[in-house]
Amino acid sequence: MPRSTFVYVTYIRTTPERLWSALTDPEFQEQYWFGVRCESEWTPGSSWTMIHPDGHVSDTGEIIESDPPRRLVIRWRHQDQAELRAEGDALCTMELEPAGPAVKLTITHTIDREHSTVIKTVSSGWPSVLSNLKSLLETGSSILRAKDVK
Amino acid sequence: MAKDPRDADLLFHALADPSRRKLLDLLYVRDGRTLAELCEHVDMTRQGVTQHLDILEEATLVATVRRGREKLHYLNPIPLQDIYSRWIVKFERPRLKALDNLKRRLEERAHA
């Protein structure tokens, strides 16, 4: 099946439990996700919503799998731009594996179509978010502020 | 994992080779490629490409996913973002600040 995927990997010196909490706690997310928060019950079947600082909802979806602190799968649909919404649902999988003194975080984002604009769009945002998350968990402060990101 | 996965030496060592940068460029154009597909585009033995990919994977510049018997290679930009955050942003910021101050002073003078 033709599909578009990106796979991002980062090693963060923390515990799987702390990382899981950082990925699922809206208060914590705001600190590394440039003010964005994701609200959900984080249990299979529960809804998932991405909310911006101005209250605007850009993406919605559903939790497909939740196995704390190991694996989280979100069905993810962009709501803002018609072109992106028309591509349908993407799947975002987050896997946490202990790796020595660190945790290996693998984020895979997939959609069942070639040359997906959704995948291109979300993939451009993840690196700075993950870099900030890593910095926040390891040093207690995030490096990049929203205005540093072009 | 025996080595510190964050080891910056691994990262800079991995980048300090034209063949490995070529492999990263190929994955940038289109990732999710197998070893065989990558071999088609470079003038290297299969063994050579495998060794370079191992070094890139150890430095986390390449992430792999198994699909049946195939291993697909993806470009992982996260360590490059870390270099940007660690080595570029903090050096850039004072300069941007200085430019901003200059602009403000000149504009203030223009309005005075």
The CATH number of the domain where B24 resides is what?
A: 1.10.10.10
Low pLDDT (below 50) residues in chain B: 1-3, 5
Percent of chain B with pLDDT over 70: 93
Bridge partners of residue A66, in order along the sequence: A72
* Helix-, strand-, coil-residue percentages of chain A, each rounded to 5: 30, 40, 30
Q: Are residues B83 and B112 in the same domain?
A: yes
**Chain B residues inside the 8 Å CB shell of A106:** 63
Q: Are residues B23 and B38 in the same domain?
A: yes
Mean pLDDT of chain A: 89
pLDDT of residue A85: 87
Q: Are residues B18 and B63 in the same domain?
A: yes
Neighbours of A138 (CB within 10 A): 13
Asked if pLDDT for residue A45 goes beyond 50, the answer is yes
Instruction: Average the pLDDT over A21-34 and give the result.
Output: 94
The runs of H, that is alpha helices, within chain B are 8-15, 18-29, 35-40, 46-58, 78-83, 90-111
The answer to whether the CB atoms of B82 and A13 lie below 8 A apart is no
Instruction: Average the pLDDT over A74-103 and give the result.
Output: 91
Q: Which domains does chain A have, with CATH numbers?
A: 4-23+66-143 (3.30.530.20)
Alpha carbons within 13 angstroms on the beta-carbon side of residue B59 total: 24
Is the CB of residue B81 less than 8 Å away from at least one CB of chain A? yes
pLDDT of residue B2: 33
Q: Are residues B70 and B83 in the same domain?
A: no
Q: Are residues B92 and B69 in the same domain?
A: no
Structure tokens at A22: 């950082």
Burial status of residue B69 (CB atoms within 10 A of its CB: 0-12, 13-18, 19 or more): exposed
Ranking A73-77, A132-136, B5-9 by mean pLDDT, the lowest is: B5-9
The answer to whether the CB atoms of B63 and A106 lie below 8 A apart is yes
Q: Nearest CA of chain B to the CA of A80: how many Å?
A: 26
Cα–Cα distance measured from residue A124 to residue B98, given in angstroms and rounded to the nearest whole number: 29
Q: Are residues B89 and B109 in the same domain?
A: yes
Instruction: Average the pLDDT over A115-138 and give the result.
Output: 86
pLDDT of residue A116: 86
pLDDT of residue A142: 66
Domain boundaries, position B99: 78-112
Q: Are residues B42 and B22 in the same domain?
A: yes
